[in-house]
Structure 1
Amino acid sequence: MNFAVISNAIDSDRRMVSVISRLIREAGWLHAPKYIVSFFLTALVAGTTAAIALLLGKVIDRVFVEQDYGALLLLSGVVFTVFLVRGLATFGQAVLLTQIRNDILIELKLKLFAAVLAKEPQFFSGSSSEELMMIVNQGSDSATNLLNSLATAIGRDTFTLIALFSVLLYQNWPLASLLLLIVPIIAIIIQRITKRIRNISRKQMEIGTSLSNKIRGSIQGIKIVKAFLIESQLKEAMHQSALRLKKLSNKQAVVSNRLAPFMEFFGGASIAGFIAFSGWRVMEAGDTPGELVTFVFAALMVYDPARRLSQTRAGIEGQLVNVRLMYDFLDRTIKKARLDLTRKNTLSIKKGEIKFDNVSFGYLKSKLILQNVSFTLLAGKQTALVGRSGSGKSTIINLIMQFWEPLSGHILVDGQLVAETTLHSLRNQICYVDQEGFLFDGTVRDNIAVGRPDASFEEIIEAAKAADAHTFINALPNGYETYVGELGGNLSGGQRQRVSIARAILRNSPIVVLDEPTSALDAETEQTIQASLSRLMANRTTIVVAHRLSTIQNSDQILVIDDGRIVESGIHTDLLKQGGYYSRLYGRLNVEPKNLR
């Protein structure tokens, strides 16, 4: 006997039971009253199914054999009533299970979406958006389908089997007991099949995610695709992935349905044996034709729920892959939430001074991007970060926003340790404008009010005017109610940036963080935005990742970063006089402005 195989099977069953138990406890238990009613209705369906088998035997004996007219009327009425009850119970159970499924589906999607929003940006740097979307969509769908499968299997099929077996035992218990001999054989076959289904489902998920990523990447990078003429390469890569997915899907279809011929064989052999044995008892042992019909009819009806139950395990294994991924994702969110509980202080801003004290950081601990960096951002003043690409400018922004946490050192705001303040109270004090001018799929008005959902329409208009956005917004087809499209695709780059600046102005926080807000714009568009940026930065502590001369030379302080260190600091004119690193960067500015990125 292979004890390793048995041990692995037991471990697999334990993991399956653990996931299912958690799903029932966290998602299904809230709907227990509806499930109880559903099971009651299912029991009615099962009871009426068994009653039909018994009534059929009575009809044969009393009506067709004995020709009892009184029994004819009575049994006809009873049969009609049984079928009426069965129909109503089936309808009620189906509606209830559908309602429960829809309720749980919405609850899980909202829970998963909340978990996505609870993640910090560092999490998304190591996860594809397509993978997360599949977890949110397929995880919740699989969870509800699994619960429905269990409710159907436990309710309809199990209750029906119990009711029909009761009829068989009542009619002929020795013969009915022989049916139980088939169960262990079927259980062994199911165990082997479900193990293969589990492995295939996992591979299908991986390839499906890869396919979705390829499609999304091709759409988002369509200009690169066209410019580099790589259509044929992408088609071939997609073709190969699609072929692998098709082969796996076909393989799963073969494996999943492999149980059917075994069930047909055992079912057919069993029923043929029952007919032969029962017929012999009618002819030799004095059993009535009605008893024969009842037993054979019940045996025939046992086959269908038994077949469905045998396939339930295979179906559950396919759903469990997605449900496990869903819970892995949720558990990581819960762990992060527990870590956030250590941040108990509420940040209180009086001046808005930000201080870095010997801060070191690296996205990989083995490769530091910032090394023992110390500086102070003056309260109510504008500080520009200047340096080559990859020198650490945007990393400083990420640390201020606490998208990432430093490996060593401290960040303080007005003397308060940022690491001990709640993320909500910190970020509530910051206006953030990114380099892309990111917009959500909604109206212009919705996007301006993102940070202040309670803002009045008049306040939104004032913010748009301050950002020099009011004129172009009014010229849009529906003004402030115009939909911006996916990622703001219906607006130009300059328009998107002005909407994002209006969003920051409306929020009216004491600290302003600008992550290369004009890097994606041409010089002419940038000039039109500089005035709105100046209004945003006025009398606020501002840190801006800069590469344009107009932003740099008007700053109250310039921090020059090279290889993760602050190599120079001061104002524009003083730094030029020093003739150091900044001066050399500035000297190249007229040749290639992007050198200051």
Structure 2
Amino acid sequence: MASKEPTPFQRIFSSSELLKGTPLNACLDLAGSTVLLVFALIIISLITELLVSGGQLKIPANSGHRLSEILGDEVMTELSHAPTNALGEIEFTNSGILPYVWKSRERYFGPVVSQAYRRFSPLRANRSALLTLVAVMAAFGYLRSMLESHARMLLQRTGLSIGTRLRQAIHRQTLRLGPSDLEGSVCQQALQLFTTEIDRVSTGVFHWALRMGRDPVRIAALTVLAFGVDPILAGVCLVPIAGCWYFAHRETLRINQVRSLSEVNSNKELRLLAESLHRTRLVRGYAMEAFEQEQFDRSLERFQQNLSQGLTAQAWSRRSIRVLVAACLAFVVFFVGSKVVAVNSEFPFSSAVLLLSAFAATWFPLQSLARLRQEHEPVEEAARVIQTYLNQIPEVGQAVGAKFLQPLSKLISFENVSYTTPGNKQLLAGLKLKIPAGRQIAIVATDPLEGQAIAYLLPRFIEPQSGKIQIDGEDIAWVTLESLRAETVYVGGKTPYLTGSIRDNISGGNSNFGLPEITEAAKISHAHNFISKLPQGYETIIGEHGEMLDPGQCFRLSIARAILRKPAIMIIEEPEEALDEDTKTLVDDAYKRIAINRTLIFLPRRLSTLKKVDEIALIHKGRMVAIGPRERLKQSAVLYRHWEYIHFNELRHEFESE
């Protein structure tokens, strides 16, 4: 028989993990709390017996030897002053919990109570016994709260550690999936998972572990306690209690479904009501006020009826549950009470209190477990979403036996390359493009994503569905990712720097790059000047918790990072934000410096870049439709003229603002 497939939540936190490490320690704390609860209920019955009996006990004279066996000679000597009444009964007064000791002599916990009476003399007098029992109750309560608090803390740590583990996994997976994220959906999903969904799972682990580690043990312990008081009576009472709980639980589930259906119908009518607020011109223009008012009133009445039906059903359900619980409680109390008041009954009132207390204490963990499944559904859904994300396979992987790529010396070629996004949007359709080594080329496209797709294909952030890309005749699908990305560096983009020091941002945390090399790269990109003016120079922290850089500074920092690695191919995505004139001059000079013995591929945002490159490749509907110097394209390519006008005419911002 095939084993049951684990749920997404069980893949994250299985039941077996509850019995290991920190969760196991928490379960032991909760078990200790349950034991203390059982003892506390027994002490309550002791206090009850003490208050009811007043420490008075009458036993037949011939039962004295039995009492002597229970208490021992030393205690009996102390109680030997007890007089014998006219009925021949030995009468003990102010004897503390002695009545309870005598009445529980045949029960499983009787020896424990008698030993306590023998060893602790304060239990042998009424006032001292009451004070001792109350003090022990308070101590047990304090210890229970400490154990429960410690268990909660341990399980919260478990939930947090699960959250940390999931965040690490999502971070690793995002590093694998993120480079191919042209449309930003992967990062958006990762951010949602990183915050909302993981917090939900972390909290869900805490609540699930708390209830599963506490409630089953507590129910079992209290049930054993109840059957220990009187097995037959406990069994008889347990049947209506279990039936009451079952029907109350089923009724709660039913009314929740009714309420959900009522809310769905109410929301449907509410949307109809909201639509009427958008039809004012139609209604007033055609004098339809009476007709519209009639429709509005009918929808409003249906809306109110749906809400009222849900509330009425909920109210009746609550009344039914309360009546059922009251009837069950009345039956149990009557049945237990009948045994207490029966003629010649040896079932003391304190035992009845203990039995009823055990049943009452069992109700709460039963309710807690009953609600667990419904409350756990959002957690299960969050776990499913997280698992689905973590199980995604990156579209780019390194081939077995991949070669080491040598620096570009001749030609980059795209041969019939096609690419479609995971969202089924085709960006490239049989693209053919050749880029000679040492050239500067700008790639422009009627759809910006098409240009980005070409730029992402070179360092293999994404993988084409067909066709191939070659560097000096080597298919990049068969070279190592490390050597490819060492020679093909992407500059700019929407994430220009990490939170950290300037030095770490340029070096990437690589200790092989010394400060002189980092400084030289910054000087070439004209970043050194603004870096030296920062409070700690190259050690200045930038990002969320440090200095903030403007777009021009970010871009020059990105160029410095690329220069330090000395790649043969540099893909430069210029910033969308407008740069000031000084920054433009510095960037243009940096381009001249880095272009020496290097191939530059631009995704341009500035007209000056288009004027200075050797060639411009125009991409339209996934194909290259024109290539050449700017002046030639302006004369021969109508589509290019249109593209340049849209992006660089002087009035474009006026239309954008409108």
Taking structure 2 as the reference length, the TM-score comes to 0.68
Measured after TM superposition, the shift of residue 280 of structure 1 is 1.9
1:313 aligns with 2:357: no
Partner of residue 328 from structure 2, selected from 235, 245, 270: 270
Tell me what 2:348 maps to.
288
Measured after TM superposition, the shift of residue 290 of structure 1 is 1.4
Contact 1:436 1:497 in 2 (8 A): no
- Secondary structure of the structure 1 residue equivalent to 2:413: strand
1:156 aligns with 2:214: yes
Q: Distance in 2 between matches of 1:465 and 1:118?
A: 33
Residue type of the alignment partner of 2:236: P
Q: Distance in 2 between matches of 1:198 and 1:420?
A: 56
1:526-572 C-alpha deviation (Å, 9 max, x unpaired): 22211112223322232223465654555455545455444555567
Tell me what 2:242 maps to.
180
Residue type of the alignment partner of 1:174: V
1:24 aligns with 2:13: yes
Residue type of the alignment partner of 2:23: Y
Contact 1:412 1:418 in 2 (8 A): yes
Tell me what 2:84 maps to.
none
Q: Distance in 2 between matches of 1:253 and 1:417?
A: 68
Name whichever of 113-122 and 70-79 sits farther off: 70-79
Give the number of equivalent residue pairs: 527
Contact 2:571 2:602 in 1 (8 A): yes
1:496 aligns with 2:545: no
Tell me what 1:232 maps to.
none
1:68 aligns with 2:128: no
Q: Distance in 2 between matches of 1:43 and 1:365?
A: 52
Q: Distance in 1 between matches of 2:460 and 2:570?
A: 14
1:351 aligns with 2:418: no
Residue type of the alignment partner of 1:384: A
Name whichever of 502-511 and 182-191 sits farther off: 182-191
1:413 aligns with 2:471: yes
Tell me what 1:581 maps to.
637
Contact 1:433 1:500 in 2 (8 A): yes
1:294-338 C-alpha deviation (Å, 9 max, x unpaired): 112222222322332233223212333322222222222xx337x
Contact 1:256 1:314 in 2 (8 A): no
- Secondary structure of the structure 2 residue equivalent to 1:119: helix
Change (3 A) 1:84 1:109: same
Partner of residue 326 from structure 1, selected from 367, 382, 386: 386
Change (3 A) 1:195 1:397: farther
Question: How does 1:99-248 map onto structure 2 within 5 Å?
Answer: 99-123=157-181, 125=183, 127=185, 131-170=189-228, 171=230, 172=233, 173-189=235-251, 191-192=253-254
Measured after TM superposition, the shift of residue 435 of structure 1 is 5.6
Contact 2:507 2:561 in 1 (8 A): yes
1:336-389 C-alpha deviation (Å, 9 max, x unpaired): 37x736566254224354221122335489875444333332234433335656
Q: Distance in 1 between matches of 2:453 and 2:500?
A: 30
- Secondary structure of the structure 2 residue equivalent to 1:181: helix
Tell me what 2:62 maps to.
none
Q: Distance in 2 between matches of 1:565 and 1:271?
A: 80
Q: Distance in 1 between matches of 2:316 and 2:151?
A: 30
Measured after TM superposition, the shift of residue 257 of structure 1 is 12
Partner of residue 601 from structure 2, selected from 543, 550, 555: 543
- Secondary structure of the structure 1 residue equivalent to 2:461: coil
Change (3 A) 1:85 1:551: closer
Contact 1:504 1:536 in 2 (8 A): no
Measured after TM superposition, the shift of residue 410 of structure 1 is 0.7
Q: Distance in 2 between matches of 1:422 and 1:443?
A: 30
Partner of residue 36 from structure 1, selected from 11, 18, 24: 24
Tell me what 1:211 maps to.
none
- Secondary structure of the structure 2 residue equivalent to 1:463: helix
Residue type of the alignment partner of 1:41: D
- Secondary structure of the structure 1 residue equivalent to 2:408: coil
Measured after TM superposition, the shift of residue 581 of structure 1 is 2.9
Question: How does 1:60-99 map onto structure 2 within 5 Å?
Answer: 60-61=48-49, 64-65=52-53, 66=57, 67-69=94-96, 71=117, 73-74=122-123, 76=132, 79=136, 83=141, 86-99=144-157
Residue type of the alignment partner of 2:637: Y
- Secondary structure of the structure 2 residue equivalent to 1:438: coil
Question: How does 1:343-422 map onto structure 2 within 5 Å?
Answer: 345-351=402-408, 353-363=411-421, 369-385=427-443, 392-422=450-480
Greater helix content: 1
1:125-149 C-alpha deviation (Å, 9 max, x unpaired): 2628555423221222222222222
Change (3 A) 1:486 1:383: same
- Secondary structure of the structure 2 residue equivalent to 1:345: coil
Name whichever of 116-125 and 402-411 sits farther off: 116-125
Measured after TM superposition, the shift of residue 494 of structure 1 is 1.9
Change (3 A) 1:272 1:587: closer
Q: Distance in 1 between matches of 2:52 and 2:508?
A: 78
1:297 aligns with 2:324: no
Contact 2:407 2:568 in 1 (8 A): no
Contact 2:407 2:487 in 1 (8 A): no
Change (3 A) 1:388 1:23: closer
* Structure 1 gap segments, 5+ residues each: 1-13, 203-251
Measured after TM superposition, the shift of residue 455 of structure 1 is 3.2
1:97-134 C-alpha deviation (Å, 9 max, x unpaired): 23222222222222222222221444462628555423
Contact 1:197 1:318 in 2 (8 A): no
Change (3 A) 1:501 1:588: closer
Q: Distance in 2 between matches of 1:272 and 1:587?
A: 85
Measured after TM superposition, the shift of residue 196 of structure 1 is 8.4
Contact 2:541 2:547 in 1 (8 A): no
Measured after TM superposition, the shift of residue 63 of structure 1 is 7.3
Tell me what 1:247 maps to.
none
Change (3 A) 1:263 1:159: farther
Measured after TM superposition, the shift of residue 282 of structure 1 is 1.0
Contact 2:607 2:648 in 1 (8 A): no
Question: How does 1:477-556 map onto structure 2 within 5 Å?
Answer: 477-485=535-543, 490-516=548-574, 520-522=578-580, 524-546=582-604, 551-552=609-610, 554-555=612-613
After superposition, the CA RMSD in angstroms is: 4.4
Q: Distance in 2 between matches of 1:586 and 1:169?
A: 89
Q: Distance in 1 between matches of 2:642 and 2:142?
A: 88
Change (3 A) 1:370 1:133: closer
The higher relative CO (CA closer than 8 Å, separation ≥ 6) is in 1
Measured after TM superposition, the shift of residue 468 of structure 1 is 0.7
Query: In terms of Rg, which structure is larger?
Result: 2
